[in-house]
Structure 1
Amino acid sequence: MSKQITRDDILPMERYAAIRRDKAREITAIKRHRRMPIGPEAMIYFENYDTMWRQIHEMLFIERGGEEQIDDELNAYNPLIPKGRELVATLMFEIPDRARRQRILGQLGGVEETVVLKLGDERIPAEAEQDVDRSTADGKASSVHFLHFPFTDEQVQRFSDPAVEVVVAIEHPNYQHMAVMPKDVRTALAGDFD
C-alpha cells in the first residue's frame, strides 16, 4: 500500500483517545507478522500505512502539539510508508542495560550502511533514510535506523516465490548476523508491493 497519510486521515485527539486501546491491539497484531530478530540485539520492523498512521497519532496524542505539530509528523513518517516497489523498515538495537547498550552502539558506527536483504543469491542493499545522520563521527550508532529496500519488478516476483529463500543480514564487522525471513512475515510484506 503506497497511500500517503494526509491531514484528512488525522483524527481529532478526543476521538483517537476513545479508540486508542483498540488501535494498539490491532497494530500489535499487525506488527507480529512484520518483525523479525537479526542476531541477539537487533529487531527489524517492516512499516506500512497502518503502523505509520498509529505512530503519527501517538506522537500527536503524547506530545499534545495540536495543529502546529501535524505537518511535522506527516513529514517525518510519510517517508516510512512503502512506495510500491520497496520495503521500508525500522531497525532497532534493543539493549535494556544502558552501559552495555552504550558499549555495543559505540562499536556500530555505519551499521545502517551494512544491512542487506537477500533473495536467493541476489542482494538488495538497504538505503538509509537521510533525515539525520544516525552515526556519529566517533563511530557510535543510534539505536534506531530507518531503511528502504528498493525492488525491481523481477525482485518482487522472486520475493513472492516460496522456492526463493529471503534473508535479512547485518554485515557490520562488529555485528554480523542474519536471519531467514519467516513465511508469515513474507506473506504480510508481499502486500506492501503495488
Structure 2
Amino acid sequence: MQLTGHITADSLMSLEAYTKWRKLHKPEIIAHRKLRSVRLGEHINLQFESETTIRYQIQEMLRIEKVFEEEGIQQEIEAYAPLVPDGHNWKATMMIEYPDVNERKRELARLIGVEDRLFVEVEGHARVYSIADEDLDRENEVKTSAVHFVRFEFTPPMRAAIQAGAAVKIGCDHTHYPSHVQVSPEALASLAGDLK
C-alpha cells in the first residue's frame, strides 16, 4: 500500500493485487490501528484515522463488495477520504461500546451530545473540543449514535508543541461520562506524524 497524500482511484490497488497484499500485510495494519486507538474510560474508543487506515478501509470495502467499476470506487473514496487528517488536525472514529444491548440502549439515551464534549488538551494550551459528524447528524432527541466521526483542529503553536513532544491528554467532560487519559508516547508519536 503506497501512501500518496491523496487517495484517488489510480492510487488504489486492483482487487487481485490487494488480495495478495492483504495476506502479507494485514497484521501490520491491525498493529497500526491498535497503536492509534485511545480508550477513554470503559466504553468509548477513539480510533484515530490516517491515510493508511482509510486506504485499508476503502480497499476492504471494495474487496468485500467486489467493486471494480470506476463509479463504485469513486463512491467509496468520497465516503471515506474525508476522514484522512489534513495536517492541521486529528480525525477519529468514536465508538461507544456497551456489550449488553439493554445497557447500550439506556446509555446512548443518557449520552446525547457526548460527541461534542470530547477534547484534546496539549500541555500549555487550551482544550480543543471536537467537531462532530460533519457529514450527517448521528443523534436525535431520544439517543445518540454508537458511532461518530470527530475532528480536532489545532493551531500552529499546538501542532509545534505536539511535534516537540508535549504531553497530550484526551478527555470528555459530558455530565454522564467524565473521563480523561494521557496519550501514550507511542500513540502520540504516530499521531504527531499527522501534523504539518
TM over 0.5: yes
In the TM superposition, residue 117 of structure 1 has moved relative to its aligned partner by 0.3
Which of 71, 83, 87 matches 2:86?
Answer: 83
How many residues matched?
192
Correspondence for 1:151: 154
Q: Which sits farther off after the overlay, 15-24 or 140-149?
A: 15-24
In the TM superposition, residue 157 of structure 1 has moved relative to its aligned partner by 1.4
1:126-152 CA distances to partner (integer Å, 9 max, x unpaired)? 1113111111222x1111111111111
In the TM superposition, residue 179 of structure 1 has moved relative to its aligned partner by 0.7
Q: Which amino acid aligns with 2:43?
A: E
Confirm or deny that 1:92 pairs with 2:78.
no
SS in 1 for 2:111: coil
For the residues of structure 2 that align with 1:180 and 1:128, how far apart are their CA atoms? Answer: 21
What is the Cα-based RMSD across aligned positions, in Å? 1.7
Correspondence for 1:13: 15
Gaps of 5+ in 1: none
Q: TM-score, normalised by structure 2?
A: 0.91
Q: Which amino acid aligns with 1:107?
A: R
Correspondence for 1:103: 106
Which of 114, 117, 120 matches 2:117?
Answer: 114
Q: Which amino acid aligns with 2:139?
A: S
1:6-59 CA distances to partner (integer Å, 9 max, x unpaired)? 001222212212222323211112122211110010111111100000000111
For the residues of structure 2 that align with 1:169 and 1:2, how far apart are their CA atoms? Answer: 32
SS in 2 for 1:88: strand
For the residues of structure 2 that align with 1:160 and 1:128, how far apart are their CA atoms? Answer: 24
In the TM superposition, residue 168 of structure 1 has moved relative to its aligned partner by 0.6
CA 1:23–1:106: 2 relative to 1, 3 Å: farther
For the residues of structure 1 that align with 2:60 and 2:119, how far apart are their CA atoms? Answer: 30
In the TM superposition, residue 2 of structure 1 has moved relative to its aligned partner by 8.4
For the residues of structure 1 that align with 2:164 and 2:62, how far apart are their CA atoms? Answer: 40
Gaps of 5+ in 2: none
Correspondence for 2:141: 137
SS in 1 for 2:110: coil
For the residues of structure 2 that align with 1:60 and 1:97, how far apart are their CA atoms? Answer: 31
For the residues of structure 2 that align with 1:75 and 1:188, how far apart are their CA atoms? Answer: 25
For the residues of structure 1 that align with 2:133 and 2:195, how far apart are their CA atoms? Answer: 19
Matched-pair contact (CA < 8 Å) for 2:4–2:11: no
More RCO (CA 8 Å, sep 6+):
1
Matched-pair contact (CA < 8 Å) for 1:2–1:192: no
For the residues of structure 1 that align with 2:43 and 2:186, how far apart are their CA atoms? Answer: 22
Confirm or deny that 1:190 pairs with 2:192.
yes
Q: TM-score, normalised by structure 1?
A: 0.92
SS in 2 for 1:106: helix
